[in-house]
Amino acid sequence: MRVLMPILEYHPITGGAQRQLAALAPHLAAAGVQLEVWTRAVPGLPAFETVSGVAVRRLGRAGAGAAASFLAAAAARLPRTRPDLVHAYSLFSPAAVALLAKRALGVPIAVKVLRGGALGDLERLRRKRLGRSRAAALARHVDCFVTISDEIDAELAQLGVPPERRRFVPNGVDTERFRPADAPARAALRAQLGLPEGPLAVYCGRLVPEKRVDALLAAWRRVCRSHPDAHLLVLGDGPDARSLRTAAGPRVVFRGDVSEVAPHLRAADLFVLPSRTEGLSNALLEAMASGLAVVATEVGGAREVLGEGACGRLVPAGDGDALALALDSLLADGAARERLGRAARERARDAYALSETAASLVSLYHELTAAPRRGATRTLVTSTGPHPARRSCHG
């Protein structure tokens, strides 16, 4: 089966969506899915290359008018590509490519919505020129929307997308690559990575305003008053890196982008995600698979993933007091950290394994390509049943 995947950015640009697609690619290939990624042009990068076995085609021109140029180049190339299905990542120009493919080739199309909420895909699309018309067109013509959180599912329902055209397929995590470490292994990793002794919390993600690392640093200064031996490890890079380094206190370690995140997670005691908006955070799933207790803001799919405190601590977005209190309490209670870490590992393994996500996608692809057409969209006639992630931490 040939599947075309339009996405705004891809390797070497690495965000959550890109990392998830790259991780899924080998599993999809093993199931007989031949992928071709289409993305926007990037200065200095070739128009076509194979990245870890995935064909990557960069279309159009970079800079001003990149979106229109990408769409025009995609429209010109579609007749020569002839995919069996198009699976677009995001509601923006990738979804527009999917609509072009459906109109020109008659192939089924799926669209993954990456984020919900005030800063999510749907709200951002509505604020664009003709955005409401574009959203309505997607609601009419997309054969299946892939959702990763209840928040996104509810937004699509409000848009008028019926349940049979909304499929919950959460992000997945490689639970072999991301795995816990016992105390001796953790100590050895810290020595190897040059990390400090004592309690260690870790943040992993882009350094951009929506991640609210600035709020985390403010909360951490308060945490250090009661835990003077604790350190915060910040992994990742972005436009806010310089200002955050300037604002950070003495017990914050910035490592930038690291080639391998897994050892740093295994070396830590606690994971924190202070974001103002998320879809379903890959970093959160990786930390859980690594057996870390989690403190996260209650945005995106965090509530479904962590449950009601059984797998971690949820705090309101933007509440610095609650963030500091949750960090303080878990740093003070090693037994609670261990208990939550074990529950998080079990939840990640049972409900968010990467192999399960890939199998759900392959099943969806076969349904879409086999489904009869009725009007503007295909009608899915089979069901894979509820995904394991729909169950709570208690099963």
Whether omega for the bond prior to residue 196 falls within 30 degrees of 0, making it cis, is: no
Residues 69-111: tens digit of each pLDDT: 999 999 999 999 999 999 999 999 999 999 999 999 999 999 9
Q: Rounded to whole angstroms, what are the CA distances from 229 to 196, 250, 254?
A: 9, 11, 17
pLDDT at 204: 96
Using alpha carbons, select from 298, 305, 294, 136 the residue that is nearest to residue 203: 294
With contact defined as beta carbons under 8 Å apart, do 180 and 345 qualify?
yes
Query: Would the pLDDT of 307 be above 90?
Result: no
pLDDT tens, position by position, 229-261: 999 999 999 999 999 999 998 899 999 999 899
pLDDT band at 386 (very low <50, low <70, confident <90, very high): low
Q: Facing residues of 353 across strands?
A: 173
pLDDT tens profile 118-145 = 888 999 999 998 899 999 999 999 999 9
**Contact indicator for 289, 205 with CB cutoff of 8 Å:** no
Contact between 313 and 281 under an 8 Å Cβ cutoff? The reply is no
Pick from 94-98, 214-218, 298-302: least confident: 298-302
Number of neighbours of residue 230 by Cβ within 10 angstroms: 21
CA distance 3 to 24: 13
Residue 391: predicted pLDDT: 43
Q: Give the count of beta carbons closer than 10 Å to the beta carbon of residue 80.
A: 6
The mean per-residue pLDDT over the stretch 54-68 comes to 92
- H or E element that contains 132: helix 131-141
Q: State the average pLDDT for the chain.
A: 92
Residue 394 pLDDT > 50: no
Do β-strands 2-6 and 34-40 pair in parallel, antiparallel, or remain unpaired?
Answer: parallel
Task: Give the residue from 58, 33, 35 showing the smallest Cα distance to 46.
Answer: 58
For 9, 21, 53, 137, 248, the CA distances from 13, given in Å and listed in that order, are: 6, 12, 17, 29, 26
User: What is the percent of the chain where pLDDT is above 70?
Assistant: 94
Amino acid identity for residue 305 in this structure: V
Please say whether the beta carbons of 198 and 191 come within 8 A: no
> 183-351, which class in CATH?
alpha beta
Q: Say yes or no to pLDDT of 392 above 60.
A: no
Q: pLDDT at position 373, please?
A: 66
**Does 2-172+354-390 match 183-351 in CATH topology?**
yes
Query: What is the torsion angle, in degrees rounded to the nearest 10, for the CA atoms of residue 150, residue 152, residue 154 and residue 156?
Result: -150
Structure tokens at 202: 């870790």
Environment class of residue 386 by beta-carbon count within 10 Å: exposed (0-12), middle (13-18) or buried (19+)? exposed
Mean pLDDT, residues 208-221: 96
Annotated domain spans of the chain? 2-172+354-390, 183-351
Is pLDDT at 178 greater than 50 in this prediction?
yes
Provide the phi-psi class of 187: left if phi over 0, else alpha when psi is between -120 and 50, else beta.
Answer: alpha
Whether 393 has a pLDDT exceeding 80, the answer reads no
Q: Residue 381: pLDDT above 60? A: no
- Which tens digits make up the pLDDT trace of 313-333? 999 999 999 999 999 999 999
DSSP 353: B
Q: Which of 13-17, 76-80, 222-226 has the lowest mean pLDDT?
A: 13-17
Rounded distance between C-alpha atoms, residue 325 and residue 365, angstroms: 45
Q: What is the pLDDT of residue 272?
A: 98
Question: Please, which pLDDT band fits residue 17 given cuts at 50, 70 and 90?
Answer: confident
Q: Which three-class secondary structure state does DSSP give residue 41?
A: coil
pLDDT for 12 equals 86
Which region among 203-217, 262-276, 327-341, 379-393 has the lowest average model confidence (pLDDT)?
379-393
Q: For the domain made up of 2-172+354-390, give the CATH fold.
A: Rossmann fold (3.40.50)
Measure the CA–CA gap between 178 and 305, rounded to whole angstroms.
17
Quote the pLDDT of residue 176: 96
How is residue 175 written in tokens?
């639970």
